[in-house]
């Protein structure tokens, strides 16, 4: 039948892969708990590999467990187009976060197969390992290794709260591949993702063209105190790390409220105290927090307030504080030409669209440090995500999938 400007994806076929994925690693009703490198992650990986092979793709696994399904182009010496996202979920995750982006790549390839169209450049679909960071911190670690932000050995030695080692879990499920985890020459990277926010749904938009991400700063800090009896220990002799951590996280939350009027956000997401028992003051408390703001300077100010709040929280509780890790992401990182291409398809195909900024982290942020990158956001009900109630209809993907299809083909046929 040939490929033309009017070619469209098969939405029902895409949806059937979403439904099959939703069978694997079920969590709370309607949701998924498919943590990275668990048995259910292996099961969806096996299914994804089978789908890729059925679609005629050659499959390769790298040493971080990233899965690449490659469709040859007319000229395989040219740098490929990558389309990716992640198949792992949060502990109380939904059926669409990340998954829709990987399966969008699969549907794109199937649509090209139907049309009998071979693009000039190769097209590669990617499932990135451990995007969520729900089991191994940090999140987006495997795309980070891919672009050289982290070392492979360092990542293999990450330890989960359940005591498992990243590299050993990769081997256990059979997904520690031979391919070096190192990005070569890549022409462009595309990622379709549910918005994970309420804007598109509230405005009745069919799709969002992502222009960048909220500048964001995160920290993992360790408060160090001393164990002592909760009864006789006088207040001025206490070094309760739990209290230092709690003070810091509430201070970070206050920073969020302080800047909320211009959509600033601050999150305390982790407090792991030890021994965390009645009758004893805590010796240590590991905490994670982050701040985000659409304005880069304000985001920096919020980050500095977050840092200083850690010092004063420690002082108030008579504890020491050590910053274990700091990270930043977001900003105007996406490629103007690719954004223009995606936007052009939104207009040409006649969707109700808008420009939008991402407020969540994505593998695309790492990829943007390596090659021209763009993202497409699709609506999700009420913006609910990282929750089993995350929900979308097939129609929520119609615009995004078809924009992705044509933007990728136009780029790949250059």
DSSP β-bridge partners for residue 375: 191, 210
Nearest distance in Å: CB 147, Zn ion: 17
* Residues in contact with Zn ion, shown as a per-residue x/- string from 92 to 111 under the rule CB under 5 A: -----xx-------------
Output the CA angle 310-149-185, nearest 5 degrees. 155
Count of chain residues binding Zn ion (CB under 5 A): 2
Q: Which residues contact 365 (CB under 8 A, 6 or more apart)?
A: 140, 213, 329, 330, 333
Name which of 97 and 290 has its Cβ closer to Zn ion.
97
Is residue 41 involved in binding Zn ion (CB under 5 A)?
no
**How many CA atoms, within 13 angstroms, populate the side-chain half-sphere of residue 324?**
13
Closer residue to Zn ion, CB minimum distance, 41 or 97? 97
Q: Minimum Å distance from CB 87 to Zn ion?
A: 10
User: Which CB sits closer to Zn ion, 18 or 303?
Assistant: 18
User: Is 117 annotated for ligand binding?
Assistant: no
Q: Three-state DSSP class for 151?
A: coil
Q: Is 86 annotated as a binding residue?
A: yes
x/- mask, Zn ion, residues 47-86, rule CB under 5 A, reads ----------------------------------------
Beta strand 123-127 pairing with 81-85:
parallel
Residue with the CB atom nearest Zn ion in the bound state:
98
Restricting to residues 185-224, name those near Zn ion by CB under 5 A.
none
Q: How far is the CB of 137 from Zn ion (least distance, A)?
A: 15
* Nearest in space to 412 (alpha carbons), one of 151, 1, 199, 125: 125
Of 98 and 400, which has the nearer Cβ to Zn ion?
98
Work out how close the CB of 98 gets to Zn ion at its nearest, in angstroms, rounded to a whole number: 4
- Alpha carbon distance 85, 179 (integer Å): 19
Stretch that binds Zn ion, among 8-16, 91-99, 108-116, 177-185 (CB under 5 A): 91-99
Closest CB 58 distance from Zn ion, rounded Å:
26
- The nearer residue to Zn ion, 57 or 87, going by C-beta atoms, is 87
Residue pair 91/83 in contact by the 8 Å Cβ criterion? no
Q: Which is nearer to Zn ion, 3 or 96 (CB)?
A: 96
Q: DSSP states of 208-246 as a string?
A: EEEEEEEEEEEEEEEEE----BTTTS-GGG---HHHHHH
- According to the annotation, is 193 in a ligand binding site? yes
Say whether 386 counts as a known binding-site residue.
yes
Provide, rounded to whole angstroms, the least separation between the CB of residue 134 and Zn ion.
11
Angle (deg, nearest 10), helices 398-412 and 336-349: 130
d(CA 347, CA 229): 67
Residues 325, 85, 367, 81, Cα dihedral to 10°: 170
Q: Which is nearer to Zn ion, 313 or 392 (CB)?
A: 392
In the three-class reduction of DSSP (H, G, I as helix; E, B as strand; rest coil), residue 127 is classed as: strand
What are the phi and psi torsion angles at 250 (to 5°)?
-70, -35
Give the nearest distance from C-beta 18 to Zn ion in angstroms. Answer: 14
Contact predicate 377/207, CB 8 Å: yes
Rank residues 62 and 131 by Cβ distance to Zn ion and give the closer one.
131
191 is in an annotated binding site: no
What are the start-end ranges of the H helices in 159-295?
Answer: 166-172, 199-203, 241-258
Least Å distance between CB 51 and Zn ion? 19
Nearer to Zn ion, 349 or 391 (CB): 391
Least distance from Zn ion to the Cβ atom of residue 81, Å: 20
Q: Which has the closest alpha carbon to 84: 197, 225, 192? A: 192
Residue 110 CA, distance from chain mean position = 25
Radius of gyration (C-alpha) of the chain in whole angstroms: 22
Q: What are the binding residues?
A: 86, 97, 132, 193, 386
Bind-site residues for Zn(2+): 86, 97, 132, 193, 386
Q: Which residues bind Zn ion (CB under 5 A)?
A: 97-98
């Amino acid at each position: 039948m040939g490929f033309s400007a009017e070619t469209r994806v098969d939405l029902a076929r895409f949806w059937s892969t979403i439904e099959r994925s939703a069978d694997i690693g079920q969590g709370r009703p309607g949701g998924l708990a498919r943590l990275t490198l668990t048995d259910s992650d292996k099961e969806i990986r096996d299914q994804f590999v089978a789908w890729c092979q059925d679609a005629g793709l050659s499959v390769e696994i790298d040493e971080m467990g990233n899965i690449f399904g490659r469709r040859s182009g007319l000229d395989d010496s040219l740098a490929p187009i990558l389309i990716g996202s992640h198949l792992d979920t949060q502990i109380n995750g939904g059926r669409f976060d990340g998954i829709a982006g990987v399966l969008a790549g699969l549907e794109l390839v199937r649509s090209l197969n139907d049309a009998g169209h071979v693009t000039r450049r190769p097209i590669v679909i990617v499932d990135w390992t451990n995007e969520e960071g729900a089991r191994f911190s940090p999140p987006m670690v495997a795309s980070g290794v891919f672009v050289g932000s982290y070392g492979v050995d360092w990542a293999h030695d990450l330890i989960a709260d359940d005591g498992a080692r990243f590299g050993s879990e990769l081997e256990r499920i059979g997904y520690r591949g031979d391919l070096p985890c190192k990005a070569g020459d890549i022409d462009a990277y595309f990622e379709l993702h549910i918005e994970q926010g309420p804007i598109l749904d509230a405005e009745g938009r069919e799709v969002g063209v992502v222009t960048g991400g909220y500048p964001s700063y995160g920290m993992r800090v360790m408060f160090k105190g001393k164990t002592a009896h909760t009864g006789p220990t006088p207040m001025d002799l206490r070094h309760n790390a739990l209290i230092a951590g709690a003070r810091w996280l509430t201070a970070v939350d206050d920073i969020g409220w302080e800047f909320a009027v211009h959509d600033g956000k601050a999150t305390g997401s982790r407090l792991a105290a030890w021994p965390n028992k009645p009758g004893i003051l805590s010796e240590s408390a590991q905490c994670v927090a982050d701040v985000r703001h659409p304005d880069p300077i304000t985001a920096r100010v919020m980050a500095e307030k977050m840092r200083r709040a850690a010092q004063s929280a420690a002082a108030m509780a008579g504890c020491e504080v050590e910053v274990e890790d700091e990270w930043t992401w977001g900003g105007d990182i996406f490629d103007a030409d690719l954004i223009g291409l995606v936007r052009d398809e939104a207009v040409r195909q006649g969707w109700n669209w808008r420009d939008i900024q991402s407020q969540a982290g994505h593998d695309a942020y790492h990829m943007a440090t390596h090659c021209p990158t763009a993202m497409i956001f699709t609506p999700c009900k009420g913006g609910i995500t990282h929750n089993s109630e995350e929900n979308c209809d097939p129609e929520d993907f119609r615009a995004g999938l078809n924009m992705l299809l044509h933007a990728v083909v136009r780029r790949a046929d250059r």
